[in-house]
Chains A and B, each alone.
Chain A
């Protein structure tokens, strides 16, 4: 069965520091991978997605992620974090024929930014 693991429940970084959020997946076929951000009291916003091609994907708000098939990873990075980046981040993998091509989400990483 497909699964997504986000090993870090909470991460704290200083504003201006670099950020890397980890995501590992388990999936039997070519994965399609996503990162979403959820700001306090808000819904989920898509940061970036990987379907195929270049394994380094650029997203919104200065985020990028790199797909590494050999490590089954899709880590999210940002070179310089802003205080407004404080939020919860979810990695997701799909599609799956069961559930109408649903996404399977990780448990999330809560990012805190220290000023």
Chain B
């Protein structure tokens, strides 16, 4: 089954404790991205990756890092989480041709930073 998986699905942590949210897709997609969803703000892009070893900032990259060492994985790293990063996070992937197909979204990771 074609899917995007994220782990963990729920996470409670404390300010300053580094964490990583993993994202993996089994569709051999080149493009992957991370979004955060906040009430009243919709989804905003954090980082994206056009292919392996190619990453770039989205609209709200501050406080986040990513890496793309393999095509299937695109982890999101919070080096020093702060309470304003409490949010619902979605990973997404799609083929390179935007007009051929659209994005597949993971199930989401709900993060609470105390």
**Using a CB–CB distance below 8 Å, which chain A residues touch chain B?**
4, 9, 32, 34, 36, 41-46, 49, 51, 90, 92, 94-95, 99-103, 105-108
A100-B48, A100-B56 are known contacts. Are A43 and B90 too (CB-CB below 8 A)?
yes
If A42-B108, A44-B105, A90-B42 are given as contacts, then 7 extra A-B residue pairs at C-beta distance below 8 Å, sorted by A number, are A9-B40, A43-B90, A46-B102, A92-B43, A95-B98, A99-B45, A107-B40
Among B35, B45, B59, the most chain A Cβ lie within 10 Å of the Cβ of: B45
Chain A residues closer than 8 Å to B45, beta-carbon distance: 99, 102
Q: Would you list 29 pairs from A and B whose C-beta atoms are within 8 A, ordered by A residue?
A: A32-B99, A41-B107, A41-B108, A42-B108, A43-B4, A43-B105, A43-B106, A43-B107, A43-B108, A44-B43, A44-B90, A45-B105, A90-B42, A90-B43, A94-B98, A95-B98, A99-B33, A99-B48, A100-B48, A101-B31, A101-B98, A102-B33, A102-B48, A103-B43, A103-B103, A105-B42, A106-B42, A107-B40, A107-B41
**Binary per-residue interface labels of chain B (39-78) against chain A in the complex, 1 for a CB within 8 Å, 0 otherwise:** 0111111001110000010110000000000000000000
Chain A residue at minimum C-beta to C-beta distance from B103: A103
Query: Interface range on chain B: under 10, 10 to 19, 20 to 34, or 35 or more?
Result: 20 to 34
Which B residue sits closest to A107, measured CB to CB? B42
Bound-state CA distance A94–B35 (Å) is 15
Minimum C-beta distance from B42 to chain A (A): 4
Q: Are B105 and A34 in contact (CB under 8 A)?
A: no
| CB-nearest residue of chain B to A106 | B42
